[in-house]
Amino acid sequence: MHSKNSSQTILVGVDGSASSIAALRHAADLAGDLDCSLVAVMCWQKPQFYMADLDLEDGPFARDAEGKLEAAVLTALGSQPDVTCRTSVRNGRPGEVLVDESASARLLVMGTRGHSEFVSMLLGSVSLECIAHAHVPVVTVRADL
């Protein structure tokens, strides 16, 4: 039996959407099959205001993200999950954070909102960024499957 070191973790990007809840559930199934633990990651950033000089404290944004992440994990896995799940709230752009975190994982699982190719091309896509740059294989999960 493998020890559950960092290379035996499945990283899950969570934003609270239905597809990220589905990704958490799918990752938990994979973790059980692969004898891995989960690391659920949610990112936060300060809002971009027109008044660039406005100095906002980080605390409320980080606490809000922590609450949303805990609620998403509870919704997806219940109060007593079958796998070990650690949570991590990080300040930064989701694509950059997940690519960075993937360096110490076995697999990255994330939801996709199903944007069309055209919308993804215009807006950019965290999923596409991770698929292109992650250090491990990336699994994307749609909420409606």
Q: pLDDT digit string (tens) for 36-77?
A: 999 999 998 876 654 455 556 667 888 999 999 999 999 999
The pTM of the full predicted model, rounded to 2 decimals, is 0.83
- Distance between CA 145 and CA 36 in Å, rounded? 23
Closest Cα to residue 86, out of 11, 2, 8, 7?
Answer: 11
- Distance between CA 66 and CA 59 in Å, rounded? 10
What is the SS3 string spanning 7-24?
HHEEEEECCCCHHHHHHH
Q: What are the residues facing 71 on neighbouring strands?
A: none
Residues shown for the chain: 145
CATH of 6-142, one of 3.30.420.40, 2.70.210.12, 3.40.50.450, 3.40.50.620: 3.40.50.620
Domain ranges of the chain: 6-142
pLDDT at residue 114 above 70?
no
Q: What pLDDT is recorded for position 37?
A: 97
